Structure 1
Amino acid sequence: MLGDHVPPSTDGVHAFDGFAKHTVEYMGHARTVHVGGAGPAVVVMPEMPGISPDVVRFARCVRDAGFTVYMPSLFGVDGAYPTVEHAEPVLRRACVSREFRAFAGGGTSPVAEWLRALARDAHRACGGPGVGAVGMCFTGNFALTMALEPAVIAPVLCQPSLPLDDPAALELSPEDAAMIRERFDRDGLDALGLRFDNDKWCTGQRFAAYAHLLGDRFDERVLPGACANPTPPPFFRDVVGTPHSVVTAHLVDEEGHPTVRARDEILAFLRTRLLHS
């Protein structure tokens, strides 16, 4: 099995072994980006409430599959174990931040422009046919909006949860939605989407909206919620309250498990588009 288990951590000291810490600035916003590996670049974005040990575990799998992982810190405390006490204020701040459009009618989150700049520089540094982008939960849709950057050719949307107040909506302005559809058709791109069937934050209505936008270029994978890890970290148990994080908090790290197969499908998707083009 690719990757290794990253134990829970509250200080992040050991969680990022094998990743170099950089400060990257675009458009006046400086952020920490953890970089590790070799090969074409894949931007792995954190889920709410931040780069937890489970997110790093997934990033290690991507790195070990033959990619250079760029893991930007967008919110929360890097390496922190997702407790309710830690996570709730992070979620509240993100919901009112000007960089994120958490609710319906807000359009595309401005942070997507920063992420596109990161992908552009990552492609310049790593080469290859293009860059992969993996978004999760709060950042799930960012993988799609990053595709407005020509370097991004392999978007993966794990349980995209925005907007929070409309399960049938997409976190996109009409203009960006039209440009994304045009680019997918023009360049033959596909997007991979994953969710649990009983996830209340990423429902079948949302995946139907993606299918309406992208047609058969949206490849959806829906896992039974019954297979989700029944003992996720406290934030996911007590606040999220539903099977949600397919390849992180609700993954069961056992060979042949449906969530591990889903993780392997992501790696295969990235290999096909970034290593075998």
Structure 2
Amino acid sequence: MRSINRRRFLQSTALAAIHAQSANAQQDDCPQQTELSGSSANMSKLGFSEETFSNDAYSHFVYSKGQGPAVIVMHELPGMDMHAVRFANRLVEHGFTVHMPLLFGDPLVSSPNLNYVRLCINKEFAYLKSNTSAPVCDWVRAFANHLGQSGTGRNIGVIGMCVTGAFAIPVIIDSKVRTVIISQPAIPLSMTYYLTKKGEGSWMEKLNIADEDLDKAVGTVKQENLHVVVQRFKEDRLCPPQRVQRIADVFGENASCYEYDRPRPEADKPHAILTVEYDKADCSPENPTRVALARVVSFLHENLNAQ
């Protein structure tokens, strides 16, 4: 038990260092963004409405904004911080209604190390075990069906990123979800590999969802001719290439797989394509983060507006 706790402590400490390195990077040629401290009131100031949705034993606040096809955005390990909010706002600007569940942490607060420790002992997130579908996936699926039944989301897209990346896959089973974006799925992770690029193994293609649910999702996607996107940075060591390749292979012709170059010269081992790295990159349309967002937006419009 002591060795497990020590390993989790070291992993959380390293993750905090990764996040701090990204947060300290400079934005080039991009307008400065407003920073607000964490609270639901400040989410309201940013134009988001708040509701609580419960399913079985679990309840979460959901922050919504925009008009157009519904897109559920599952935030990354740092939490629903300003990087996640800016990404949501970009989707709103492109004509979507964004629904962002507060899955863990506090709104507008970034706590990657504390969140990692919490999730490792959290039953709702299946303790971040590989080959295990977490109950939170059922909650997101139930929320998607709630949107569909309420008439606010006839066709729904889901975006999972980082720790929630693979969670988007089982959500598509028996739900109103028509398409998913699986962005840099990072669990399971190896800090040894991240720091040294040593320690390759079978963990690199594993997912934090059950193989059975992966097979069911593939069956749903192929039977209903749905489509998924999976993406990562080429130099991302938290999301190894074997993992996204496995996802692309099992979904076959129904999947689009993209790997991107580093978005900044100083971005060593970049990870968060649509959030942190987007905010820190230059604003040229050729930047990999801008190309990735354009593809995501186009993909969502094509698969949600056309049905």
The normalised TM-score by structure 1 is 0.87
* CA contact 1:170–1:210 (8 Å) conserved in 2: no
* CA contact 2:130–2:209 (8 Å) conserved in 1: no
Q: Which runs of 4+ in 1 moved over 6 A?
A: none
Change (3 A) 1:127 1:23: closer
Instruction: Return 245-254 or 4-13, whichever deviates more.
Output: 4-13
Kindly state the Cα deviation for residue 270 of structure 1 after the two structures are TM-superposed: 0.6
Who is 2:140 aligned against?
115
Who is 1:177 aligned against?
214
* CA contact 2:141–2:175 (8 Å) conserved in 1: no
2:291 and 2:257 map into 1 onto residues whose CA distance is 14
Aligned-residue identity in percent = 28
Who is 1:276 aligned against?
306
Kindly state the Cα deviation for residue 187 of structure 1 after the two structures are TM-superposed: 0.5
* CA contact 1:128–1:274 (8 Å) conserved in 2: no
Q: 2:223 aligns with which of 186, 198, 215?
A: 186
1:229-273 residue CA offsets vs partner (Å, 9 max, x unmatched): 847xxxxxxxxx730000101112513122012111111111001
Who is 1:54 aligned against?
83
Kindly state the Cα deviation for residue 125 of structure 1 after the two structures are TM-superposed: 3.0
Kindly state the Cα deviation for residue 212 of structure 1 after the two structures are TM-superposed: 2.7
Q: 1:217 aligns with which of 235, 242, 254?
A: 254
Residue 217 of structure 2: SS of its match in structure 1?
A: helix
* CA contact 2:234–2:260 (8 Å) conserved in 1: yes
1:73 aligns with 2:102: yes
How many residue pairs match? The answer is 259
Please report the RMSD computed on the Cα atoms of aligned residues, expressed in angstroms. Answer: 2.0
Kindly state the Cα deviation for residue 127 of structure 1 after the two structures are TM-superposed: 4.7
Instruction: Return 130-139 or 163-172, whichever deviates more.
Output: 163-172
Instruction: Return 38-47 or 12-21, whichever deviates more.
Output: 12-21
Residue 167 of structure 1: SS of its match in structure 2?
A: helix
Alignment of 1:231-246 (within 5 A): 242-246=269-273
Q: 1:143 aligns with which of 168, 172, 181?
A: 168
Kindly state the Cα deviation for residue 215 of structure 1 after the two structures are TM-superposed: 1.5
* CA contact 1:147–1:153 (8 Å) conserved in 2: yes
Residue 63 of structure 2: SS of its match in structure 1?
A: strand
Who is 2:189 aligned against?
164
Residue 100 of structure 1: SS of its match in structure 2?
A: helix
Q: 1:249 aligns with which of 267, 270, 276?
A: 276
1:123-153 residue CA offsets vs partner (Å, 9 max, x unmatched): 2334565100011101111111111133101
Q: Which has the larger radius of gyration?
A: 2
- Structure 1: where are the runs of 5+ without partners? 232-240
1:100-120 residue CA offsets vs partner (Å, 9 max, x unmatched): 132324x11111000001111
Residue 75 of structure 2: SS of its match in structure 1?
A: coil
* CA contact 2:230–2:248 (8 Å) conserved in 1: no
Residue 24 of structure 1: SS of its match in structure 2?
A: strand
1:267 aligns with 2:294: no
Change (3 A) 1:157 1:169: same
Who is 1:11 aligned against?
38
Question: Larger helix proportion, structure 1 or 2?
Answer: 2
Report the AA paired with residue 111 of structure 1.
V
1:131 aligns with 2:168: no
Kindly state the Cα deviation for residue 185 of structure 1 after the two structures are TM-superposed: 1.0
Who is 2:233 aligned against?
196
1:22 aligns with 2:37: no
Who is 1:100 aligned against?
125
2:112 and 2:253 map into 1 onto residues whose CA distance is 36
2:56 and 2:265 map into 1 onto residues whose CA distance is 39
